[in-house]
Structures are given as C-alpha cells and as structure tokens.
C-alpha cells in the first residue's frame, strides 16, 4: 500500500557523550525531516561518545547526515577529547546499512557520495571502509583508526594512509572520519552458568572466525560479575550468512566439554526481523518458508 521506497540505515558515532545540549544539536538535523526517521541514540559518558541510529531514503538521509556532521565539526574539539573508546574524529565513523529495496552496491554509492560531499564542504579527510573500502587494508575500521586522533597527523602523511577524499592532513579540531557501507551487525551475547572467564574465552575462540570458527562471527569472553556468570559476547557481522542459531548451538556444544550450560542470551540494540525469523524457522523445522510469508514484510514491501 505504501509507495516503494529504498530505505538505508545510518549509525553515525560522534565523539561527544557528556554534554546533552551539544548531543541534541548534533541530532537535530535528523528530527522532523520528511523521508528520515530517528530511531535511537545512546550516549556513553565513559566512552565520551554517542551512537545515533537513523533510517531514511537515500537523498534526504544524505542531506541530514551532512548537516549533522557540520554541527559536530562546529562544536566538538578533539584536542580536548578523552574517552575510553578508541576514536580518531569528531564524527568518528558513519556506517550505512541497506535495509529495504536497496542493494549493497547502492549503499556503497551513497556512502561515497556523502564522503565526497563531507570532504568538500568541511575540508575533512575521509577514509572509505568496510564494503566501500578502496583497498583491502582499509576494510577493517580498527586498522584505519590505529594511532587514534593523536597519531593521525603523522599517519595521514604516509602515502598508504592518504585519505580517499579531502586533504592529506587532519581537520585541526575534527580529525578524520571513516564512512562506508556494511551489512547489519547483530550484537548477540550468550550466557553460561559458570563464573570462569577462561571458559567463555576458550569457547569464543572456537566459534569466532579469526581463530577457526564461523565466517561472520567475532567474539570475546565477558564477566557478568553481578550475576557471577560469564558470557560469550558476539558481533554477528552478516547474519544472512552466519545465522544466530548456528553460533548459539555451537556454543552449547562446546560448553558441554566443560560441564557448562547455556542459560540464556541477549540481543543488544536493534536486530533485523529476518535474523530472528531464521532462528524460528530452524527450530520449528519450517519447510519451504520464505520471508514473503511474513505479514508485515508483505504489507510494507
């Protein structure tokens, strides 16, 4: 019934997590704008960082993101910024995620257009990362961000770290920004009935990609001291390829070696419905089920 629209999600991370008035100013461009919807924002004082979640059609979303970046550049001074989370700029990172009727290719195009415009408008060096990266060693945000704001003036002068857009020197107060397209990320934690962190860490090593596990899975062990248990804390970087139920069942199986049980799990933040419906389809053994059978998916398609 609704007109066909392309919907893109954007989750910009700003290096301001303490001054609520400043945060409101940065978010203001996402409010009350046709074709853009602010879904969520969370600020963390220790990290001194705010994470905003917004969805929209590509064109109005682009306008809103560029405006918001301008506000952040005006009011954040990285020279005095201290926080626990690694960061390299006032607008640290701006990921774009395809949500509806939009391909990854289109999301990459949008990310590049915004990177170009931000660089031109604000004289800001921008690195393309993840699916938008122009070189393999820029896919990983951590590699780009290594050295952080303080190390960036020297790093950016090296030819291999020349920015994709903007000058080869940092913005004096806003540093540099990474912009790119990526798959939706699901933060999924699995709780174990043991207080031993080493068990969670050993299981994390078994299931995560880097040490022999599932392709689109990152994981570490975490202590939940108030509950006297541990959890395997996971970032599922492509649930369409590595389903949540698969890592959940693997963790259950690995935990058996230690006489440990999985006692629950949690999703942090937002999750695409398909990531959970895939799990229901697995556990119920649904035959020939497709997302086209989901009422809401069909009404709004």
Question: Contact positions toward a copy of itself, by CB under 8 A?
Answer: 1-3, 5, 7, 9, 35, 37, 39-40, 55-57, 99-100, 184, 191, 244-245, 248, 262-267, 269-273, 276-281, 283-289, 292-300
**Residue number, 143 or 279, with CB nearest to a copy of itself:** 279
CB of 192 to a copy of itself, least distance (A): 11
**Residue number, 142 or 295, with CB nearest to a copy of itself:** 295
**Residue number, 143 or 187, with CB nearest to a copy of itself:** 187
Q: Please give the Cα distance from 179 to 127 (Å, whole number).
A: 6
CB of 82 to a copy of itself, least distance (A): 26
Under a CB-based contact definition with an 8 Å cutoff, are residues 10 and 56 in contact?
Answer: yes
For residue 144, give every residue at least 6 positions away whose Cβ sits within 8 Å of its Cβ, in sequence order, or none: 88, 127, 129, 138, 178
User: In angstroms, what CA-CA distances link 298 with 60, 184, 266, 270, 284?
Assistant: 25, 21, 28, 21, 22
Answer left, alpha or beta for residue 33, where phi above 0 means left and psi between -120 and 50 means alpha: beta
CB of 147 to a copy of itself, least distance (A): 33
Catalytic position from the list 47, 48, 85, 196: 85
Residue 51's DSSP bridge partners are 13, 42
Record the tokens describing residue 30, joined without a space. Answer: 């996402």
47 catalytic, yes or no?
no
Residue 171 buriedness (CB in 10 A; 0-12 / 13-18 / 19+): buried
**Residue number, 254 or 278, with CB nearest to a copy of itself:** 278
Cβ neighbour number for residue 126 with a 10 Å cutoff: 28
CB of 207 to a copy of itself, least distance (A): 15
Active site residues: 85
């Amino acid at each position: 019934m609704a007109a066909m629209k392309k919907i893109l999600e954007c989750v910009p991370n700003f290096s301001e997590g303490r001054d609520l008035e400043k945060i409101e100013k940065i978010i203001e461009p996402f409010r009350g704008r046709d074709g853009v919807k602010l879904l969520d924002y969370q600020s963390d004082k220790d990290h001194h960082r705010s994470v905003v979640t917004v969805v929209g059609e590509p064109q109005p979303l682009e306008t809103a993101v560029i405006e918001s970046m301008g506000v952040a550049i005006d009011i954040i001074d990285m020279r005095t910024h201290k926080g626990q989370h690694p960061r390299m700029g006032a607008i640290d990172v701006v990921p774009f995620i395809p949500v509806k009727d939009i391909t990854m290719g289109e999301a990459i195009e949008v990310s590049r257009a915004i990177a170009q415009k931000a660089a031109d408008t604000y004289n800001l060096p921008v690195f393309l990362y993840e699916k938008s990266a122009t070189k393999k060693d820029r896919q990983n945000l951590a590699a780009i961000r290594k050295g952080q704001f303080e190390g960036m003036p020297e790093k950016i002068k090296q030819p291999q770290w020349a920015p994709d857009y903007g000058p080869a020197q940092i913005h004096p107060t806003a540093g540099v920004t990474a912009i790119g397209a990526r798959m939706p990320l699901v933060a999924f934690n699995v709780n174990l009935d043991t207080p031993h962190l080493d068990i969670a860490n050993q299981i994390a090593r078994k299931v995560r990609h880097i040490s022999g596990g599932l392709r689109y899975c990152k994981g570490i062990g975490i202590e939940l001291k108030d509950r006297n248990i541990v959890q395997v804390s996971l970032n599922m970087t492509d649930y369409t390829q590595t389903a949540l139920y698969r890592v959940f069942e693997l963790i259950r199986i690995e935990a058996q070696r230690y006489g440990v049980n999985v006692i629950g799990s949690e999703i942090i933040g937002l999750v695409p419905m398909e990531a959970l419906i895939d799990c229901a389809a697995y556990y119920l053994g649904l035959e020939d089920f497709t997302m086209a059978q989901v009422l809401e998916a069909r009404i709004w398609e």
